[in-house]
Structure 1
Amino acid sequence: MARTRTDIRRARIRLGAAAAGIALLAGCGSGGEAQTSGDTAALSGEIIWADFGGPTNEARQEIYFAPFTENTGVEVVSVVVNDAMQEAMMSGGQGDYDATHVGLDLVYANKDNVTQIPAEYQDQALPEDIRAYAFGTFYVGHAQGYLSDTFPNGGPKTWADFWDVQTYPGKRAWPGTPGSYDSSCEIALLADGVAPENLYPLDFDRCSAKLDELRPNMVFYMSYPEIQQLLVSGTAAVAMGPSGQFSALRNAGQDVTVSWDQAVVAPNVIAIPKQAPNAENILALTEYFHDPERQAEFAARTNYGPGNPEAYEHIPADVQDNLANAPSHTAVVYQDSKARAEATEELLNWYTSWLAG
């Protein structure tokens, strides 16, 4: 059921104390004194921000929202994305959200229903034909990772290696829910020898055939945190998944190796539906999200790659090593979000069917 305005007001009350505490911390972050170039004195009210919660939202609260509220008086109210409301608003309908966290392919599919971002706050890492329609970009890598002592003499690097259970024995952790197809087809095609420039349009029959080869050695996870459990328990020797899960293991004290060779990199973005109730406020917030020092701090906190290339001027080399779109990661493969947008329904139907066997 979609959240009502009453639900959101209740959320604001619950978040009020936390927001106050975060505001105290914000002055310690980089760029804490940044001022907006627009007439922020005229702003008032609130922003209803929809994302997936958790540590990513916590980082946004401290790095972006708190200083914005301090400088403008506009309160940012965070709610967890409701799929029905997000779909309605991205399709041009009414709803409560001023901003919503989506994949870039969804933006391509709904450009006519999305508010454009001012040119000076557009993320230059995005393709030119879409950068006016999204902001707050960060890059996720669908990579393979393993505990380093699992392969003391060196483990798999490419996706062909991932499939090679003779040379690199052990089970492979793999996404097991229909909506978590992630980069599964691209990865299967890369493992089958397809060159990155020839991945699209996706050949679903070839993807299925290659995945069938590995299915006997797969262990399916139903949620991303299970990746960590499967590796630590030894149930899986290697896992395919979002690079943030491997960073979480490293932060927990585990020695983890991540291969960026052929890791499939994809942007996550924020879109402003044209029906956003507080359009002026959310457009003002885009300036904070574009700031390179704030993006650098967000990258250090989350291990997601920044959308503004200038952020790398403020990111230490050891932090860059863990970011999907780091300049040093020259062997990664970028998803074609536009091509995937044209095949969204096919992708879901294909993976649902393949999982069912």
Structure 2
Amino acid sequence: MSVDIRFRRRAGIAVAVGAVAVLVTGCAGTASGGTSDGSASGDESISGQIVWADFGGPTNESRQVAYFDGFYDETGVDVVSSSIEDAVYYPMLEGEDGDYDVFQVSTADILAYPDHIQEIPEAAQGDLIDESLRPYVVGGFYIGVAQGWLTDTFADGGPQDWVDFFDTDKYPGKRAWPGSPGFFDASYEIALLADGVAPEDLYPLDLERATAKLDTIRDDLVFYQSYPEVQQLLSSGSASIAVSVTGQFKALQNAGQDVTVQWNQAFQALNGFVVPEASNNPDAVMALAEWINTPENQAVFTERTGYGPVNSEVFDLISEDIAANVVNSPDHADGLLQWDEQWRADNKDLLLDSYTAWLAG
């Protein structure tokens, strides 16, 4: 899918990024393999620390194992994780100062706020990302937004699509549902599909129709404020089904739970991180970006999280069983749906305001 990003890059930023690319060339080799004897190189071209902002939980823990620990051993640069806050990262997307050196965004964020995002080196760019987005996405991965449940909850099989999800008589129990305005995810698309809208007719989203459909099961929804809460809601029985990013279901599986993920009508979306113009340590971030794109490192992250890789070489390193359970596996291609990222970017404020108002009742 080609995305017309229409980036308007200032010449000053381009020159600065070019200078960064030269600076990190010396550490690119060490970041992807280290010294010949495997010892840390301690590359002196980068130093300090990187403040990395994401949603925490098991996905962040997996980044620590797959990326951050090795990067510290290799370079001496510590990656300090921070819980991402809308009040910090939105101003940074608009060019203001802030605490983050790199932070998590959706594709819609990149499309909506292109002017204050730095480009990354070619060696850090995932080849499975659309060419128009590759230069801007650090640590990219493909998420799925799907419904999932503990397999024993529905002994005869659970919901097959979003219409079934809304059928609380046939599939009783509470539904875990996004409760924070900042991550409405596929809420409106799901509601419209459940109300009979065909996938190809979803956009432009009819928000009034979608919220009316959501109101029909509002009393059956349990709202979570962070993704890791999904695991607790399912494992405790507080919810029988959850709508979430599929990494939360993978985390439950890693903990020994038997979880069913319904891939039919699941949404596949690119996620990743950006380097804001106001990043305090861009040289180190660029080196980290290359380290993350190394197939061996990215394969560890994929195996632990179930999120799809952005480097095609990863599929040569992971087993068929692992590959079959990541969202951008060819096994799932026929049932997956895609967001219209440009429409969502163009209407980001509308979506955020509408979902905020709906949550408030």
Counterparts of residues 157-236 of structure 1 (less than 5 Å)? 157-236=160-239
Structure 1 residue 187, shift from structure 2 partner: 0.9
Structure 1 residue 96, shift from structure 2 partner: 4.2
Give the equivalent residue in structure 1 for 2:33. 34
Give the equivalent residue in structure 2 for 1:49. 51
8 A Cα contact 2:58 2:228, kept in partner:
no
2:240 to 219, 229, 237: 237
Structure 1 residue 289, shift from structure 2 partner: 1.3
Tell me, yes or no, if structure 1 residue 302 matches structure 2 residue 305: yes
Give the equivalent residue in structure 2 for 1:87. 90
Structure 1 residue 270, shift from structure 2 partner: 1.1
8 A Cα contact 1:43 1:74, kept in partner:
no
8 A Cα contact 1:46 1:75, kept in partner:
yes
Counterparts of residues 44-83 of structure 1 (less than 5 Å)? 44-52=46-54, 53-83=56-86
Unaligned runs of at least 5 residues, structure 2: 1-29, 36-40
Q: Which has the higher mean CA deviation after the structures are superposed, 339-348 or 121-130?
A: 121-130
8 A Cα contact 1:48 1:79, kept in partner:
no
Q: CA–CA distance in 2 between the matches of 1:281 and 1:100?
A: 14
Q: CA–CA distance in 2 between the matches of 1:97 and 1:222?
A: 21
Q: CA–CA distance in 2 between the matches of 1:259 and 1:193?
A: 19
Tell me, yes or no, if structure 1 residue 350 matches structure 2 residue 350: no
Structure 1 residue 102, shift from structure 2 partner: 1.8
8 A Cα contact 1:46 1:76, kept in partner:
no
CA spacing shift, 1:201–1:70, aligned 2, 3 Å? same
8 A Cα contact 2:102 2:285, kept in partner:
yes
Structure 1 residue 35, shift from structure 2 partner: 4.4
Structure 1 residue 176, shift from structure 2 partner: 2.8
Structure 1 residue 143, shift from structure 2 partner: 0.9
Q: CA–CA distance in 1 between the matches of 2:173 and 2:346?
A: 36
Q: CA–CA distance in 1 between the matches of 2:312 and 2:206?
A: 33
Q: CA–CA distance in 2 between the matches of 1:66 and 1:230?
A: 30
Superposed CA RMSD in Å reads 2.6
Q: What secondary structure, in the 3-state scheme, does the structure 1 residue paired with 2:330 have?
A: coil
Structure 1 residue 82, shift from structure 2 partner: 4.4
Amino acid at match of 1:109: A
Counterparts of residues 272-291 of structure 1 (less than 5 Å)? 272-291=275-294
Structure 1 residue 113, shift from structure 2 partner: 0.6
Q: Which has the higher mean CA deviation after the structures are superposed, 339-348 or 55-64?
A: 55-64
| Residues 51-90 of structure 1: per-residue CA shift (max 9 Å, x gap) | 2344333332332233333333444343333443322322
Q: CA–CA distance in 2 between the matches of 1:235 and 1:75?
A: 38
CA spacing shift, 1:324–1:42, aligned 2, 3 Å? same
Q: What secondary structure, in the 3-state scheme, does the structure 2 residue paired with 1:347 have?
A: helix
Structure 1 residue 136, shift from structure 2 partner: 0.6
Give the equivalent residue in structure 1 for 2:38. none
8 A Cα contact 2:101 2:279, kept in partner:
yes
Amino acid at match of 2:348: T
Give the equivalent residue in structure 2 for 1:115. 118
Q: CA–CA distance in 2 between the matches of 1:48 and 1:32?
A: 15
Q: What secondary structure, in the 3-state scheme, does the structure 2 residue paired with 1:306 have?
A: coil
Q: CA–CA distance in 1 between the matches of 2:31 and 2:136?
A: 26
Q: What secondary structure, in the 3-state scheme, does the structure 2 residue paired with 1:328 have?
A: helix
Q: CA–CA distance in 1 between the matches of 2:181 and 2:83?
A: 21
Counterparts of residues 252-291 of structure 1 (less than 5 Å)? 252-291=255-294
Q: CA–CA distance in 1 between the matches of 2:75 and 2:352?
A: 42
Unaligned runs of at least 5 residues, structure 1: 1-30
Structure 1 residue 319, shift from structure 2 partner: 1.9
Q: Which has the higher mean CA deviation after the structures are superposed, 158-167 or 61-70?
A: 61-70
Q: Structure 1 residue runs of 4+, over 6 Å off?
A: none
Q: CA–CA distance in 2 between the matches of 1:65 and 1:225?
A: 20
8 A Cα contact 1:156 1:162, kept in partner:
yes
CA spacing shift, 1:167–1:290, aligned 2, 3 Å? same
The two structures have a TM-score, normalised by structure 2, of: 0.81
Amino acid at match of 1:315: I
The two structures have a TM-score, normalised by structure 1, of: 0.82
CA spacing shift, 1:175–1:278, aligned 2, 3 Å? closer
Q: CA–CA distance in 1 between the matches of 2:233 and 2:145?
A: 17
Q: CA–CA distance in 1 between the matches of 2:293 and 2:240?
A: 39
Length, aligned pairs only: 325
